[in-house]
Amino acid sequence: MCGRFAITLPPDAMAQLFEARPDNDLPDVPNYNVCPTDPVHVIRAEDGARRLVAMRWGLVPRWYKAPNDGPPLFNARAETVAEKPAFREAARARRCLIPASGFYEWTKDETGARLPWYIQAKDGEPLAFAGLWQDWTRDGETLRTCTIVTCAAAGEITAIHHRMPVIVARAEWAKWLGEAGHGAATLMRPAPEGSLVLHRVGSAVNSNRAAGPDLIAPNSA
């Protein structure tokens, strides 16, 4: 799964990296503790161009009577996105990229305490998570929402968790966004072995209210 991540790249740098036109109401950065239901940066294709927009992390299906009418759908399993009613239409027509500097995962020690880890690209470059987006409208209110696609973990990630976000390589961004023909389903796979690095961080990030760069600092305890 992917339930927490960090983003430190300024919006103008994100726009340049993804060749996208930025909206004006983007979330504040840096944010070292992005949580479900937070607004996140999203790249989507629209009318032959890319836009950098804000969306709520946690896809809200059209049939929900309220945004909290069901569990927050902040992850979508790659193995079932084409079948699940909440995701199948978006998987065909509303794919997006969600930039991140890194993400968190947890293990447990012998006492059951949660031990957080921070995972990032070995080369230090930003990550682009595979995402899906959905507009939810009720009584004149529209909420633009998204989810992160996950797949079975591979390589170094298997030591701490059995799932991981789908990370789309730069050469495949156009295909995932629907700009370069079909075949997006083939991109829903783990990142190449050796492309990610991870380290233990302090337990402060166990709180969704924690903030600041110390959250991603190595902690050997």
- Would you please indicate which residues are annotated as catalytic (active-site) residues? 2, 105
Between CA 110 and CA 36 the distance in angstroms is 28
User: DSSP of 65-104, one letter per residue?
Assistant: SSTTSS--B-EEETTTTTT-TTTHHHHHH-EEEEEESEEE
Find out whether 70 and 62 touch, Cβ atoms under 8 Å: no
Q: Computed from CA positions of residues 89, 91, 95, 97, in that sequence, does the dihedral angle turn out positive or negative?
A: positive
Nearest to 177 by CA among 135, 142, 147, 133: 133
